[in-house]
Amino acid sequence: MPRVGQLSATDVWAAVTRTLSALTGQPRTDLVGSDAALWSAVTRTLTKISLEDDIDQALPASNYKLDPAMSNSATGDTFGSWVQAVANVGSGKRLLWVYLTLASDVGGQGELEAGEGGSGSEAAIFRAPFHIRQSSAVGYMPEIWIPMFVALSASARLSFRVRDNVGSAKNYGLAIMVA
């Protein structure tokens, strides 16, 4: 039988294919934690693979669409007013994406902000920059899809507002996915 160093091939095979039943020796606890924590982590059964938590991809409710119902402030680089999208999102929900459209004849660079809270006391939970350009004023509405994946507070009121670098009033449409 062939030998590897002082061990036979049979001994090597038995060592590498054995069933582990416990940790022995002194692991580097400064790097990996205690024996029990390490053993638990390496022997756990993975049942689901997901991007943070498991999410059921629900259809967007029809009341999640504002078309066009949001405006900039008509002053460059200043947010417009908050516009409510959902009065109560329920429990355990996430804002997955936003679909933004420009309903005016001028494009520009800007920022969309999502917020939670009562009317007049909204707190920003997400900001997304965008660049939108209208190539023609004749029936063409540019649009942007913005992934967000933001956890929402239970029973939160969800609102949005927008600012851009154009110093004139513009209207934006918005559709969202909450699941």
pLDDT exceeds 50 at position 167: yes
Average pLDDT estimate for 27-37: 55
Q: Give me the percent of the chain exceeding a pLDDT of 90.
A: 20
Of 94, 69, 93, 95, which Cα lies nearest the Cα of 82?
69
Q: What is the pTM of this model?
A: 0.63
Q: What is the CA radius of gyration of the chain?
A: 27
Give exposure, 133-149, as e/b (b: 16+ Cβ within 10 Å).
ebeeeeeeeeeeeeebe
Structure tokens at 91: 């429990």
The pair phi, psi for residue 150, each rounded to 5°, is -115, 130
Of 160, 158, 142, 173, which Cα lies nearest the Cα of 67?
173
pLDDT at residue 117 in the model: 95
Cα–Cα distance measured from residue 96 to residue 75, given in angstroms and rounded to the nearest whole number: 30
- Least trusted range by pLDDT, from 14-18, 21-25, 104-108, 162-166: 21-25
The upper half-sphere exposure of residue 143, i.e. CA atoms within 13 Å in the direction of its Cβ, equals 14
The mean pLDDT of the chain is 75
Q: Are 159 and 89 in contact (CB under 8 A)?
A: no
Cα–Cα distance measured from residue 32 to residue 149, given in angstroms and rounded to the nearest whole number: 31
pLDDT at residue 54 in the model: 47
pLDDT exceeds 50 at position 19: yes
Q: How far is CA 84 from CA 13, 23, 119, 168, in A?
A: 66, 56, 8, 22
pLDDT exceeds 50 at position 21: yes
SS3 label, residue 115: strand
Domains of the chain: 3-43 (no CATH), 62-178 (2.60.120.820)
Beta bridge partners of 71: 171
